[in-house]
Each structure stands twice: as C-alpha cells, then as structure tokens.
Amino acid sequence: MTFTDVFKSSFLENVASVSLLDMTLALVLAFAIGMWIFLVYKKTFQGVMYSSSFATTLVALTMITTLVILAVTSKVVISLGMVGALSIVRFRTAIKEPLDIAFLFWSIAVGIVLAAGMIPLAVFGSIVIGLILLVMVNKKSHSNPYIVVLNCADHAAEEHAVKFLKKNVQKCVVKSKTAEKGNIELNMEIRMKDDNTDFANHLSDMDGVFSAVLVSYNGDYMG
C-alpha cells in the first residue's frame, strides 16, 4: 500500500458517479412535472378543506424520488443500503381522500421513471394522466347524491313530506330514521333531477315539518 492509497476515499470517488448534466436535467424535469401534478391536484380537489402543504408535498416528492433513484441506479451497493434505510421509515399521516393516494403514487412513479432516463414516458404519461383526471373529476353531473334531513312532528307529516320529495327528485332512499315523542328525524339520500333546490324550501313550509336540511354527500353511493 502506497502513501497515496492511504488518502484514497471511496466517498470522493462517488462524486462523479452521476454527471452534473444528468442531475440538472432530471431535477428540472421533475420540478416541471411536479408543478403539473400540483396544478392538476388543485383543479380536481373536491374534499372539504384544501391543503396547500399536501399539494407542495407532491412537487417535493417527485424531486426527492428522482434524487433517490439517481443514486440507486449509479451503484448497486447504494441501492441495497437505500432499501434497508427506507424499510425503517413509517408514515402515519392519514389520507382522507382516496384520490390523494393516486397523486402520491403519480409523483413517486414520475420520479422513478425520470431518474431511469425514460423522459418521454414520464412527460407523455403525466400529460395523459393529468388530462384524464381533469376531465373525469371535474365532470359535473346533476345526479350527484345529496342527503336530506327532515324533522317532522308526526307520521302524517312524514308521509306527506316523503311523498312530495319523491315527486321532485330522481331517486329517494331512506338511510336512517329516528323516532321520538313529538319528533321524527329522517335521513334520506336523493338524486336530484336538476340543480334546482327550491323543493327544500317547500318542505320546510309544510305543516308538521320543523326543518329540512339539504347536504352535499361525497361518500360512496350503493344502488
């Protein structure tokens, strides 16, 4: 072993394992596609409260995944170490919207594909996925489900209100019913014929009906 071999560092040898041009190109494309994912998420969000931090995370996740895969593809030893390191990571943030999972996987997939050098696949695939989500998620439909909460005084008022409701909506299904002395509460899932909600006003004006509440329903519909 010579004097020079003592000062050799495997760390310094890894500096040039990925060229500066490859790193710059991969990160710039990851940021651009990450911003596209960010905009699609912002336009298609239909949850209760929009989270700007989650949207920013999509951009960061795309770039971070690109960095990780660039390191993995440069050396086999790094890939084995990365698998061991990531296996101890635990994420405990609850995903409230099912569509958010798709955006997370989209960001990760783009980072992997970009770092692997398949730039046309990453760009073209992201454009197609984004356009499909914009069309499908933002598609408006008058048959979206709603929940109607009725408070009635007695059985006669209940029958009259339900009969009127069935005439003015496309579909009406009773989800739950609570009966107390002097009060009957009905929770019904409906499908409206159009965007006219005047029937709720007529319901509240009926004799024996204390209140009528119309709520947009984002849950799964079975039927």
Q: What is the pLDDT of residue 212?
A: 87
97 shares a domain with 58 = yes
For the CA atoms of 135, 47, 195, 165, the dihedral, rounded to the nearest 10 degrees, stands at 130
Per the structure, how many domains does the chain have? Answer: 2
118 shares a domain with 41 = yes
Distance CA 220, CA 197 (A): 22
Domain that holds residue 208: 145-216
26 shares a domain with 8 = yes
Q: What is the pLDDT of residue 73?
A: 74
User: In terms of pLDDT, which residue wins out, 162 or 19?
Assistant: 162
150 shares a domain with 60 = no
108 shares a domain with 31 = yes
150 shares a domain with 132 = no
Inside any domain, residue 222:
no
Segment 62-81, tens digit of pLDDT: 998 888 888 777 665 555 55
179 shares a domain with 79 = no
Q: How confident is the model at residue 221 (pLDDT cuts 50, 70, 90)?
A: very low
Inside any domain, residue 117:
yes
Inside any domain, residue 99:
yes
Q: What is the pLDDT of residue 114?
A: 87
Residues 6+ apart with CB under 8 A from 27: 63, 66, 67
Domain limit, last residue, from 137, 169, 192: 137
197 shares a domain with 94 = no
Checking if the pLDDT of 12 tops 60, the result is no
94 shares a domain with 73 = yes
205 shares a domain with 161 = yes
Inside any domain, residue 190:
yes
User: Tokens 């029937």 map to which residue?
Assistant: 199
Strands (E), 17-168: 145-152
Domain CATH code at residue 170: 3.30.70.260
Q: How confident is the model at residue 129 (pLDDT cuts 50, 70, 90)?
A: very high
0.75 cut: is pTM over it? no
Segment 25-47, tens digit of pLDDT: 889 999 999 999 999 998 888 76
